Every structure is written in structure tokens, then in C-alpha cells.
Structure 1
Amino acid sequence: MKDFKFTCNISLHKVEWNSMRLMKGSENMEENKVKKMLSYRWIVWGVLALAYIIVFFHRLAIGVVREDLVNTFGITGTTFANIGSTYFYAYMFMQIPSGILADSLGARKTVTLGTLLAGIGSVMFGLAPNLFMLFAGRLLVGIGVSVVFIAILKVQSQWFKESEFGTMSGITSFVGNMGGIFAQTPLAILVGYFTWRSTFAGIGAISILLAILCYVVVRNTPQDMGLPTIEEIEGKKKEAQAVERPPLLKSLGQALTNPYTWPGFVIFTGFFGAFVSLTGTWGNSYLVDVYGLAPEKAPNYLMVAVLGLALGGLVIGKISDAVKSRKIPMIAFGTIYVACWAIIVFVGDGKPPVEILYPLFFILGFTCPAFVLGWACGKEVNHPAIAGISTSIVNMGGFFGGAILPPILGKIFDTYGGTMEATELYQKAFLYCFAFAAVGYVFTFLVKETRCKNIYADSLCGRNLKQK
């Protein structure tokens, strides 16, 4: 009997020990999954960020090759501006479809197809035998790259904490702007060495290879890899579960009719429209014509502005998350941004001293990305399940500004180019940039403060929709 009890006790101890070992093994397995999720999200984001570098390259590259295009195709200033604007029109009109694709098809397939299309368009642009093919290539590039950023925001909402969204948007903007920096002095060097045709064809080939990498590496959510969600890691329930997810068309209607969506749109229109008119279209010519700089040196000044934009996006997003405010940083940085444009337009009758251009352009670029907080606001004032659609509406603004403002300046150059001195001519043109920036600044005061969290369910708009 004693032997039997002894044997039973040993068996019970073995069962308990095995249970503890299984529990410990399960805990270790879960811990490993958490570690894998927290590390792999950076791989997913990193590959998408590489695609975003291509986006920024094409966004600003056209200004550097202006003389090459004029010499090759014999185009006017308005036609040149329209070539540049083709990218922005395509990008703008694709923003809502991009949000729908990001929410339905998923970031992986969306970015793969978009980057592939952009690569084909870049090759077409580089090999274009006539204006039609030049415009067609630029159009394909615009359509292709238009889906990348919204997909990144969608991935961020699935792989990163809500409190990290502003910071991650700033980091994403910083990395993307490396493509904008490459589209200045480095591009001028490459074009001088390889010709503009070979350079754009080469970028197209790289884009096609990157599309393949996106498909292999990127995953839409941690669940696609059997990993825990960020909400599960934080011990929270998904906010999207707190409010019933509306159908797709209703989601679009809700975001479009939400008055809190639109201030970010207007801010992005004014701020970025003015910035890209300088750095992506007319800045190189401005520095050559007004200051007499050599064509190979002028991009250095614009590169400083783009570097400022990259660093500013990183810092502004971090500050916003740290102080738990979207509105205050937008107003503060927006004030400085508009002041920089006032200096460009009004100081020295439109010709500020050349000695201040480097710091002036850097500060202008550094403060411009106050608009990045508009993306976070767009997400935080709308239904959590439609992050792609709501941010895409806000994101349309910058490309609306980038599409309509440069041709306005081009028309001024074509109309008054033979009758005005260069300084007066550019002052007259850049006055429109100042006006755009000023209008955007006014709308920073109309932004709905979210305190860096989703307020849809608590907002008047959200309550009314829930009651319906």
C-alpha cells in the first residue's frame, strides 16, 4: 500500500512537473512570437520604406532635368510644368482608390503592383521618343507610386502602437525624403555621367526588382505570420471592435462628410504645393536665373531644403507624440514656414542675400512637414477600421497643390518672361507660393485636437453615426 502511495505521489509530481514544463514552454513560445513580431515589423516597414524612397525620387526629379527635356523636345515652361504635374494629378486621383486597395487588397499586393507599374513607367520615360510617351511614362509612374504611402500607413496601424503613429509617420517621411535628396545633386551628377535617359531607365529597373522584394517580404498583418497583434501584446482589445465596421462605400462617405477630415487636406495642399514648386520644379531655374549660380551647383541649395524636410518630419512627429498634441506643433511650425516664404518673396525685392539661402532653405524645409500630423489627425478623427481611406483623403491635398501650383507659375514665366527682369519675374511667381502656404497656415487653427488617440467613437460625428 505504501509502495502504491509512493508510486502515485511520484506520478503526481511528474504530471505537475510536466505541466509546469509545458506551461513554461508555452510561455517561452509566446515570448518568442512577441519578439519575432516586434523585430519583423521593422523588416516589413524597411522594405516599404525603400519603395517610398522611389516615390520621393520621382516627385522631385523633374526639376533637375528641365534643361535636358527642353533641349530634347523643345518644350515651353508651361509644358514642362505640366509634365511634372502629370505625376501629381495621377497621385492625387489615386489616393482614394489607394486607400480602398490598402483596406481591401492589402499592403503587400498593393505596393508590389504599384512599384512594378512605376518601374515600367520610369523606363518608358527614359526611353520616350516623343512627348506622348514622355507624358505616358510620367503618368504610369504617378499611378504606380501613389499607392505606396497609404499602404505604409495601413501597415503601421497593424504593426505599431497607436502612440507610435506620429513618430513612425515622421520616420517614414524622413526615409522617403532620402529619395528627394537623391533627386537633387546626386541626380545631376548621374545625369551628367550617364545621361538623363539611362538614369531614369536604370531607376525603373531597380523599381521592378524592389516590387519583387515587396511581394516576398511584406505581410499585411502579424496574424498573416501567426504572430500576436500589437493590441494583444499591449493587452488591449482592438478599437475597431468597439464600433461596428461600416461597409466600404459608407466608410468613404463617412470620411468625406466628416468636417474634421478636411483641415489636414488644406494644410497639406498649401504647404506641400509651395514646397514642391520650389524644390521639384522651379527652384533650380530660380537659383540659376536670379543668383547666377552654375546649373550643377544650384541643386545643392535645394538638397538642403529636402534634407530639412526629412529631418523636420522626423522631429515634428516625435514632438507631437511626446506632448500628446497634433494642433499645437502644426501651428508653431507652420508660423515659421510661412515666415520663410515671406522672406523669399519680400526681402530684397524678391532676392534675399545669397549668404542666407542655405539656412533659409533648411528652415523652410524643416518646418514644412507640419503637414505630416494631418495624416495622423485624419486617422484619429475617423473610424479605426478605415485608416487607409481616411488618410488617403488627407494625402490628396499635397498632390492637389503639387499639381495645380507649378503650372500657374509656368504660365507666369511664359507670359511675362520676355518683359520682366528675372528677380521681378520670380517674385511675382513665388507670391503664389506664399499665398498657398498662408492659406494652409490658417487651417492649422481649424484642426481638431485628438491628443494622439482615435476620438471617432467619442466625437459628435461618431455618436451620430452610431445612432443611425
Structure 2
Amino acid sequence: MTEQYSGECRNGSGEGMKKALSYRWIVWGVMVFAFMVVFFHRFAAAVVKDDVTRDFSLSATAFGAMASMYFYAYMIMQIPVGFLADSLGARITVSLGMFLAGAGSVIFGFAPSSFWLFLGRFLVGIGVSTVFVSIMKIQSQWFRDREFATISGATTLVGNAGGIFSQGPLALLISVVSWRAGFVAIGLLTLAIAALCFRFIRNRPQDMGLPPVNEREIARANLQPDPFSVVSGLKNVLSVRGILPATLFYLFNQAGFFALIGTWGIPWMVNAYGLSVQEASSYSVVLIFGIMAGGFITGWISDRLGRRKAPMLVSSLLHMVLWAVILLSENGMPPLGWLKVVFFLLGITNTAFILAWSVAKELTSEKYTGLAISILNAAGFLSIAVCTSVMGWVIDLFAALPPAGAYRMAFMLPLVSAVLSFLSVLFIPETGSVKHGGR
């Protein structure tokens, strides 16, 4: 394929650019298909909570620890994955990751004991951790700077469709067959996606003999690339003014919301409201619809305004208010008639996190885009893992209360996280095109 396009590129960049702008949608489509699997695994634990705790006699604390294995693994891998995406390339990185995630899902489905359950969940987390940073790196190569926030929002929108399949459809599947069969099936699908990634993904247009699409890549196309250094990369990224508050924002933004949607939301509705797993899933999926809508809308608004900080402030403030509404409702239980509205808005307002990716990209050198985003991700997934585990511990601690009361105490953690997320935005510098005179 490289030989086919290299000649065309030499004969003129016009035709080559058309091919690059066309093929990027194939690259992005395969990557976002893999991203859907990431969200399936991220949210699936909540659906199988009752089945898994029954089959393995797990307490809420133990289940929370098991579910958090995904997030701990994801967090541990963020810095290594950033280096792999920047040096080895997104294609190899994500292909190997999808293979490992598929194997982990199969292990989870066949787990004979809780040890294998934990191991399978951990391996899935290790594998899928490669996808996010890789797709951000791909987008920085195949899309223009002014398109980055919008395409990141679209990535979030489509990727979260995988989370929809982890809710209602998975709940229906396990009611017909078993949770084991469901995870084995998704594992086999993940292995097939690994093959697709290797076949179709290319790290950048130049790998196919096509001209670069991104403006910064065009500017440096004739320059000799600097050698990649782990130490200098960390120093470069961490020394940039504004990275620390952006990282703290991302950390606190992710913690409570994803502990809710990924682990404790469905058990809360089952135990506090008395809903079935299938009914609770129909409510939980609204959170995902909120993320899907909000991710695209937030990115589009930010690119149109040429600002990052203002949309982040508004979204994080509203997100904080919505958590307060849940906690201040009678028994910490908003009326069911309003719960879907609250959930949808909670999902929309959470998506300010996509602007933190843009901030990290715009504050740092393009050479370390993957690394900068991976630092944010490491912080975010550490907070989700800790929050998920601690919420399980709090639920056990207040087990003497009615279920609604125990979950209400646990939900204090997401509210505190939302407040700290809002405060962190105040210290983030504006990096949008208005600040820099348009780009």
C-alpha cells in the first residue's frame, strides 16, 4: 500500500491529500470500534454485580475491589502507553492491547475462583488501556488542530455506544444465558478487533506515502525528528504551567461519575429503589446517552467559541449541583420520574473532561501529545479505582442502615470530587484559539 501511494504523493500533494482525508475515516472508524469495547468492559461490572457476588460470595468491599482492578490496571499503564504511542506507534500498541483484553475477558468468563476473576479483570484493564491514548495520538496525526476537540467529542459519542451494550443488552443476555457466556463472547469479539486494528490502522498519513494532514506535522515535515527520550518527555510535560491543575481537574472529574456508572449505579437502583437489573439498566444507559451527547456538544461548542476554560467552568459547576440534588433528595433518592433527567444531565456535564485533553495537547509539544494525555488519564483512572473501592467499603460500613442510607453515605464521595473538580478549573490557563489569536 505504501508503494501505491508514495508515487502519487510525489506527483502532487493535492491527490495525496484527498486520499489522506478519505483514509483517515477508516483509521478512525477501526479505532473507535476498539474504543467501544473499552466502554463495554468499563461499565459491565455493574450489570453482573448480583450474579458475581452470589457465585463467588463477595462482599460489597470485595466486589468494589474486583471492579476497580480494571481502573488500577488502566492507571498503571497510562505512562507506558503514552511512551509506546509516541515511540512504537499507535498501530502496534492498540493491536497488542486488544489481543490482551480479549484474553482477559475470556479468563473472566471461565474464572473458577475469585483469583481468576480478579486476574481477568486486571488483564482486560491492561489491554484496553492502550486504546484511548492511541486514538488521541492518531487524531493528532490524521486531523487538523481546529478539528481536534470536535473529533474527540465524536470519539466519546461513538465509543460510549459500547457502554450501551454493556447495560440493557448485556442484562438481557445474562438473563437468557449467563454472565460467563457474555464475557467469553465479548472476549472473542475483542480478539477479532485486534486483527482489524493491525490490518487497517496506520500511525500517520506519511506511513502510506501521503502528505501530513495536521498543521504542525506539515510545518515539521522537512525537519529531522528529535530522538525520543523518556526522561526529557516527563520533564517537558510536567514542567508546563497549567498541566497540574488540568490533571487535578481530570482526576476529580472522573472519580465519582465513573464509579457510579461503572460499578455502583445499578446496584444502588436495585437495592434502594427495588428495580430489577434490567429495569435499572434502562436508567443507567441514560448516563451513557448523556456522555454521548455531551461529548460531541462540548467539543463543538469549545471549538466554535475558541475557548476551553469557560465551557469547563460551566459544565463542572452544573455537575456539582446535580450531585448535590441527588444527595439532598429524600433518602438520597430522587423520584424515579426525575432520575433519568438527572442522569442525562449528569452525563452531559461530566464531558468537560474532553476539553482537558485539548488543554494538554495545546500546552505541550506535539512530540509528547500521547504522554501528556496519558498523565491526565493515569490520574483519572487512579481516582476512579480508589473511589470505586472506597464506596464499596462505605456501603459495608453502613450496612446496618437501609440500603438507600448506605448508598447515600457512599455518594458523598462523588459530591466532594465534583466540588474539587470545579475548583481545579479556576487555575487552568485558557489555551483556545481566542487566546492565541486564532489558528
| TM-score normalised by L of structure 2 | 0.93
Contact 2:307 2:435 (C-alpha < 8 Å) held by counterparts: no
Aligned partner of residue 352 in structure 2, secondary structure: helix
Measure the CA separation in 1 of the matches of 2:241 and 2:218.
Answer: 29
Aligned to 1:420: 401
Residues 364-402 of structure 1 show CA distances to partners (whole Å, capped at 9, x for unaligned) of 011101011111111111112110101110112221121
Picking from 93, 96, 99, the partner of 2:82 is 99
Measure the CA separation in 2 of the matches of 1:383 and 1:128.
Answer: 44
Measure the CA separation in 2 of the matches of 1:27 and 1:219.
Answer: 19
Picking from 417, 420, 428, the partner of 1:436 is 417
Q: Report the Cα offset of residue 240 of structure 1.
A: 11
Residues 36-60 of structure 1 show CA distances to partners (whole Å, capped at 9, x for unaligned) of 1001001001001011001111111
Q: Report the Cα offset of residue 169 of structure 1.
A: 1.0
Task: Indicate how the Cα distance of structure 1 residues 235 and 152 shifts in structure 2: closer, same or farther if over 3 A, else same.
Answer: closer
Question: Which structure's CA Rg is the greater one?
Answer: 1
Within-5 A mapping of 1:59-458:
59-231=42-214, 237-238=219-220, 247-417=229-399, 419-452=400-433
Aligned amino acid, residue 129 of structure 1: P
Measure the CA separation in 2 of the matches of 1:348 and 1:181.
Answer: 29
Q: Report the Cα offset of residue 27 of structure 1.
A: 9.8
Aligned amino acid, residue 279 of structure 1: I
Aligned partner of residue 94 in structure 1, secondary structure: helix
Q: Report the Cα offset of residue 408 of structure 1.
A: 0.9
Q: Report the Cα offset of residue 413 of structure 1.
A: 1.3
Contact 1:47 1:217 (C-alpha < 8 Å) held by counterparts: yes
Measure the CA separation in 2 of the matches of 1:389 and 1:38.
Answer: 25
Contact 1:83 1:138 (C-alpha < 8 Å) held by counterparts: yes
Measure the CA separation in 1 of the matches of 2:346 and 2:383.
Answer: 17
Measure the CA separation in 2 of the matches of 1:229 and 1:453.
Answer: 25
Aligned partner of residue 430 in structure 2, secondary structure: coil
Aligned partner of residue 300 in structure 2, secondary structure: helix
Aligned to 1:31: 14
Measure the CA separation in 1 of the matches of 2:9 and 2:59.
Answer: 69
Q: Report the Cα offset of residue 422 of structure 1.
A: 2.2
Unaligned runs of 5+ in 1: 1-24, 456-468
Task: Indicate how the Cα distance of structure 1 residues 187 and 35 shifts in structure 2: closer, same or farther if over 3 A, else same.
Answer: same
Unaligned runs of 5+ in 2: 1-7
Q: Which moved more, 1:188-197 or 1:59-68?
A: 188-197
Over the aligned positions, Cα root-mean-square deviation in angstroms equals: 2.1
Task: Indicate how the Cα distance of structure 1 residues 290 and 239 shifts in structure 2: closer, same or farther if over 3 A, else same.
Answer: farther
Contact 1:61 1:183 (C-alpha < 8 Å) held by counterparts: yes
Measure the CA separation in 2 of the matches of 1:105 and 1:165.
Answer: 22
Measure the CA separation in 2 of the matches of 1:406 and 1:239.
Answer: 45
Task: Indicate how the Cα distance of structure 1 residues 239 and 89 shifts in structure 2: closer, same or farther if over 3 A, else same.
Answer: farther
Q: How many residues align?
A: 429
Q: Report the Cα offset of residue 227 of structure 1.
A: 0.4
Task: Indicate how the Cα distance of structure 1 residues 277 and 27 shifts in structure 2: closer, same or farther if over 3 A, else same.
Answer: closer
Aligned partner of residue 292 in structure 1, secondary structure: coil
Residues 226-270 of structure 1 show CA distances to partners (whole Å, capped at 9, x for unaligned) of 0011147x9951399699676332111221233411222222222
Q: Which moved more, 1:431-440 or 1:289-298?
A: 289-298
Within-5 A mapping of 1:47-62:
47-62=30-45
Residues 13-56 of structure 1 show CA distances to partners (whole Å, capped at 9, x for unaligned) of xxxxxxxxxxxx99985332111100100100100101100111
Aligned amino acid, residue 183 of structure 2: F
Aligned partner of residue 220 in structure 1, secondary structure: coil
Aligned amino acid, residue 318 of structure 1: W
Aligned amino acid, residue 447 of structure 1: I
Task: Indicate how the Cα distance of structure 1 residues 204 and 236 shifts in structure 2: closer, same or farther if over 3 A, else same.
Answer: closer
Q: Report the Cα offset of residue 295 of structure 1.
A: 2.2
Aligned partner of residue 411 in structure 2, secondary structure: helix
Contact 1:57 1:179 (C-alpha < 8 Å) held by counterparts: yes
| TM-score normalised by L of structure 1 | 0.88
Aligned amino acid, residue 387 of structure 1: T
Residues 275-299 of structure 1 show CA distances to partners (whole Å, capped at 9, x for unaligned) of 1121111111111222222222011
Measure the CA separation in 1 of the matches of 2:335 and 2:301.
Answer: 32
Contact 1:382 1:454 (C-alpha < 8 Å) held by counterparts: no
Aligned partner of residue 146 in structure 1, secondary structure: helix
Measure the CA separation in 1 of the matches of 2:78 and 2:113.
Answer: 29
Residues 180-233 of structure 1 show CA distances to partners (whole Å, capped at 9, x for unaligned) of 11111111011112211011001010111110111110000101100011147x
Measure the CA separation in 2 of the matches of 1:367 and 1:397.
Answer: 19
Q: Report the Cα offset of residue 448 of structure 1.
A: 1.4
Contact 2:363 2:431 (C-alpha < 8 Å) held by counterparts: yes
